[in-house]
Amino acid sequence: MEKEWETLRAWKERMEQELDRVVAFWMEHSHDQEHGGFFTCLGRDGQVYDNLKYVWLQGRQVWMYCRLYRKFQRFRRSELLDSAKAGGEFLLRYARVAPPDKKCAFVLTQSGLPVKVQRTIFSECFYTMAMNELWRVTGEERYQNEAVEMMDQIIHWVREDSSGLGRPQLPGTPAAESMAVPMMLLNLVEQLGEADEELAGKYAELGDWCAQRILQHVQRDGQAVLENVSEDGKELSGCLGRHQNPGHALEAGWFLLRHALRKGNPELRAHVIEKFLLLSFHSGWDPEHGGLFYFQDADNLCPTQLEWDMKLWWPHSEAMIAFLMGYSDSGDPALLHLFYQVAEYTFRQFRDPEYGEWFGYLNREGKVALTIKGGPFKGCFHVPRCLAMCEEMLGALLSRLASVPAPTCSPPAVPAP
């Protein structure tokens, strides 16, 4: 037990120190003091190489700053909250393409003019997360009103009428469901329902629906987690149907673990650990070079995506969260071993000791393929979220170990006469 304590303590300190370095990088290099919001196209040393602003990443950074401010005493600093509020106000002014309609842009200019719109729900999802966290740290109801109104719009698009997304219903398009949609909605159910009985009750049925839809992606008699299935939960033909995303499966896994904990459902927890954590990891881990493949084909055919064998920052971040959460819930030492395996690879390969933050894109051998620290999809989110959650979970595990009484030598039992 003493050795386990020391290992956990060392990883907690490592997570804490790395989180401080990562947050410092974004605070130094990403803030737009003129217009508000954040630059995310940052080179290795933090230099801005493009001033476009991506709404996903604006919302994520607002959420991240607010979450750190709320959860960690050392981040309860005015400059962090002021930057989050400036980012939130930028979103309120510019994120929606044609107010009062709710559709948000995907890309904005530095000053907030819309450049591109995606026909998905994800800009709106991260907008919702940002507004809810801003409300939690400021108490300003206008942020919460925005969050709830946008959440209800997202639900309408997903479950009632998707025409507002602007995606035409072409006759050759398969009626497919990506795991990303119920995943994001389940995450929003957790976000809005935290310590809020009214909203937790309002979205309880939605949470169960999301969990059921995610579980449909376990296919082939439980031997594969597929990224896309038909709307009635069946495997699709072709590359689309065989497509696997190990990082997404692991992220969905810890979303489902939190759902199982809320529901008090140990059977669901065991199923999620077996299928979304262990199965996805063992099929997705590169036995030759280490690290998680970005994409895979369920029949071991060559995936069509050129980047399929690259190692990206975010699947490894999600794997660390998933395995540490699984161990915290179940106590299975095999999950703790996998956490150590992923964490050691990730800190060794992705971390930049010279300039801070993590590289995002490695080749199969684990060498840096792109030196950028941020871009259209990598911002202040997956890395600090992982570090913060792991620091919290490791702290809780250490507290639990500290409360376990040390074993004592009992006198030998006296035989009964």
Q: For residues 64 and 41, what is the distance between their CA atoms, to the nearest angstrom?
A: 17
Claim to verify: residue 302 and residue 384 sit in the same structural domain: yes
Q: What are phi and psi of 352, to 5 degrees?
A: -110, 100
pLDDT in tens, the chain (417 residues): 688 899 999 999 999 999 999 999 999 999 999 999 999 999 999 999 999 999 999 999 999 999 999 999 999 999 999 999 999 999 999 999 999 999 999 999 999 999 999 999 999 999 999 999 999 999 999 999 999 999 999 999 999 999 999 988 899 988 899 999 999 999 999 999 999 999 999 999 999 999 999 999 999 999 999 999 999 999 999 999 999 999 999 999 999 999 999 999 999 999 999 999 999 999 999 999 999 999 999 999 999 999 999 999 999 999 999 999 999 999 999 999 999 999 999 999 999 999 999 999 999 999 999 999 999 999 999 999 999 999 999 999 999 988 876 554 444 443 333
User: What CATH code is carried by the domain that includes residue 20?
Assistant: 1.50.10.10
| pLDDT recorded at residue 409 | 44
Of 303, 188, 288, which Cα lies nearest the Cα of 246?
303
Claim to verify: residue 274 and residue 372 sit in the same structural domain: yes
| pLDDT recorded at residue 416 | 39
Claim to verify: residue 55 and residue 3 sit in the same structural domain: no
Claim to verify: residue 40 and residue 25 sit in the same structural domain: no
Domain that holds residue 218: 1-30+177-402
Q: What are phi and psi of 96, to 5 degrees?
A: -80, 135
Claim to verify: residue 101 and residue 191 sit in the same structural domain: no
Q: For residues 357 and 24, what is the distance between their CA atoms, to the nearest angstrom?
A: 9
**Could you identify the residue written with the tokens 């920052």?**
313
Claim to verify: residue 230 and residue 348 sit in the same structural domain: yes
Q: What are phi and psi of 219, to 5 degrees?
A: -125, 180
CA atoms within 13 A on the CB side of 348: 11
Claim to verify: residue 160 and residue 79 sit in the same structural domain: yes
| pLDDT recorded at residue 223 | 97
Q: For residues 384 and 65, what is the distance between their CA atoms, to the nearest angstrom?
A: 10
The alpha carbon torsion through 60, 63, 65, 66 (nearest 10 deg) reads 180
**The last residue of a domain, from among 166, 199, 230:** 166
| pLDDT recorded at residue 169 | 85
| pLDDT recorded at residue 407 | 53
Q: Which pLDDT tens digit goes with each residue over 344-397?
A: 999 999 999 999 999 999 999 999 999 999 999 999 999 999 999 999 999 999
Claim to verify: residue 127 and residue 88 sit in the same structural domain: yes
Q: Are 39 and 53 in contact (CB under 8 A)?
A: yes
**The last residue of a domain, from among 132, 166, 200:** 166
Claim to verify: residue 128 and residue 228 sit in the same structural domain: no
Q: Which pLDDT tens digit goes with each residue over 102-142?
A: 999 999 999 999 999 999 999 999 999 999 999 999 999 99
Total domains, the chain = 2
Q: For residues 149 and 397, what is the distance between their CA atoms, to the nearest angstrom?
A: 38
Sequence-ordered list of residues with C-beta below 8 angstroms from that of 396, at least 6 positions apart, any chain: 328
Q: Where are the beta strands (DSSP E) in 16-113?
A: 41-42, 48-50, 53-54, 107-108
Q: For residues 253 and 260, what is the distance between their CA atoms, to the nearest angstrom?
A: 10
| pLDDT recorded at residue 403 | 84
In a domain, 407, yes or no: no
In a domain, 412, yes or no: no
- Helices then strands, each counted (H, E), the chain: 15, 14
| pLDDT recorded at residue 334 | 97
In a domain, 138, yes or no: yes
Helix (H, G, I), strand (E, B) or coil at 168: coil
In a domain, 133, yes or no: yes
User: What CATH code is carried by the domain that includes residue 110?
Assistant: 1.50.10.20
Claim to verify: residue 96 and residue 181 sit in the same structural domain: no
Q: Which residues are registered as beta bridge partners of 228?
A: 178
Q: For residues 241 and 226, what is the distance between their CA atoms, to the nearest angstrom?
A: 7
In a domain, 395, yes or no: yes
CA atoms within 13 A on the CB side of 25: 31
Q: Are 186 and 207 in contact (CB under 8 A)?
A: yes
**The last residue of a domain, from among 111, 135, 166:** 166
Q: Which pLDDT tens digit goes with each residue over 131-170?
A: 999 999 999 999 999 999 999 999 999 999 999 999 888 9
Q: For residues 313 and 346, what is the distance between their CA atoms, to the nearest angstrom?
A: 8
Claim to verify: residue 90 and residue 205 sit in the same structural domain: no
Claim to verify: residue 152 and residue 201 sit in the same structural domain: no
